[in-house]
């Protein structure tokens, strides 16, 4: 829905999706620092995936981070700070093998799972219009 006051007409669905791909998968031991300032420390052996998307793409890092993204139809939490051109997610719990090139949904649908602009906006303490208008021009578009 465009807003709490404006609902999509019957039969309409969201047209926007914001996606990226896994650029690296790595296993980290417990006690490993992640991201700038060591803002996250692994508490257990953790399988991470690096995503080539960051705040320079409009993937906000403040006041709070995005929260989760979708991979293999499941939510995966962001770890540490979102950097200018990349971020890191925890994929330890994902049953299927996560590989370089796998699709990651930041906004949109993957299988039965949905992560809407409205959900992201709520996590960030803003409105969906702000979330989608911040996706910068360097992010490739498709027709």
Instruction: Give a yes or no: residue 120 inside a domain.
Output: yes
Tell me how far apart the alpha carbons of residues 6 and 99 are, in angstroms, rounded to a whole number. Answer: 39
Instruction: Give a yes or no: residue 71 inside a domain.
Output: yes
Q: Are 73 and 109 in contact (CB under 8 A)?
A: no
State the residue range of the domain holding 102: 18-133
Tell me how far apart the alpha carbons of residues 135 and 12 are, in angstroms, rounded to a whole number. Answer: 22
Instruction: Give a yes or no: residue 33 inside a domain.
Output: yes
pLDDT in tens, 84-121: 999 999 999 998 899 999 999 999 999 999 999 999 99
Instruction: Give a yes or no: residue 9 inside a domain.
Output: no
Q: For residue 118, give the CATH number of its domain.
A: 2.40.37.10
Instruction: Give a yes or no: residue 140 inside a domain.
Output: no
Q: Record the pTM.
A: 0.89
Q: Please, what sign has the CA dihedral across residues 46, 48, 54, 58?
A: negative
Instruction: Give a yes or no: residue 139 inside a domain.
Output: no
| Full DSSP string of 62-94 | SSS---EEEETTEEEEEES---SS-EEEE-TT-
- Could you give the number of structural domains in the chain? 1
């Amino acid at each position: 829905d465009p807003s709490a006051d404006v609902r999509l007409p019957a039969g309409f669905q969201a047209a926007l999706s914001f996606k990226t791909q896994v650029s690296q998968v790595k296993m980290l031991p417990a006690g490993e620092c992640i991201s700038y300032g060591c803002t996250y420390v692994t508490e257990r052996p953790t399988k991470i995936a690096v995503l080539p998307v960051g705040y320079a793409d409009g993937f906000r890092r403040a006041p709070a981070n995005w929260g989760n993204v979708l991979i293999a139809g499941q939510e995966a939490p962001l770890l540490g700070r979102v950097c200018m051109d990349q971020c890191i997610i925890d994929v330890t719990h994902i049953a299927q093998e996560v590989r370089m090139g796998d699709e990651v949904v930041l906004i949109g649908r993957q299988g039965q799972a949905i992560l809407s602009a409205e959900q992201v906006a709520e996590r960030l303490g803003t409105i969906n219009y702000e979330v989608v208008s911040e996706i910068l021009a360097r992010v490739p578009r498709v027709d």
